[in-house]
Amino acid sequence: MVQLSKTAMAAACGLAMMSSAAVACPDVRQNGAYGRYTGSDLYDPKYFNVTAGGNYSLKRQCGGIYKQLRSDRGEGFFPIPPDFTLETPGLAGFTLVVAVVSECDSTLLINTPAGNWYYDDDDNGNLDAMISLTSPSSGILDIWVGTADGAYCDAQLRLETF
């Protein structure tokens, strides 16, 4: 029988907690509901019903993503897989607006085809989130619809190009 010292046991527990926390974050390797839209397709807005919310705090549990944000910073709770995984060919020359209308304080997290992370809390007004990508690249766009406090609520995601 192998006995571990208290220090070794504490180190092992700490490593286990760190590895589980790293897994409990939005993960671009997973897929959400799939769609394929060109910039021209989104010139007419597309709407998608979604449940906003998640169990994982971007600010407290997902420091790697939080440090990479190229936009607002704040608290947001998201699921691990994205809500939507979109193939987006032909976005050059368009501005892509991703917006949420919800029954709660929604948040939005996006990972672009270039690997950039964007976050928003209230830019759509009424405690709803909106992100405008002014020079979006074509490829895979992952979108998470979360909430500011970890609650869940009904929401609608809008995608539109200009």
Instruction: State the CATH number of the domain containing residue 120.
Output: 2.60.120.380
Reading the chain (162 residues) residue by residue, the pLDDT tens digits are 445 444 443 444 444 444 444 458 999 999 999 999 999 999 999 999 999 999 999 999 999 999 999 887 888 999 999 999 999 999 999 999 999 999 999 999 999 999 999 999 999 999 999 999 999 999 999 999 999 999 999 999 999 999
Q: What pLDDT is attached to residue 20?
A: 43
pLDDT for 56: 95
User: 1 lies in a domain?
Assistant: no
Residue 37 DSSP class: -
Provide the CB-side half-sphere exposure for 96 (13 A, CA). 27
Give the SS3 label for residue 122: coil
In a domain, 77, yes or no: yes
**Quick check: is 113 in a domain?**
yes
Split into its structural domains, the chain has a count of 1
The region, left, alpha or beta by phi > 0 then psi within -120 to 50, assigned to residue 13 is alpha
Query: Can you give the residue range of the structural domain that contains 130?
Result: 6-161
pLDDT of 23: 52
pLDDT for the residue numbered 10: 42
Instruction: Return the amino acid letter for 97.
Output: V
Q: Which two structure tokens, joined as six digits, stand for 129? A: 């989130």
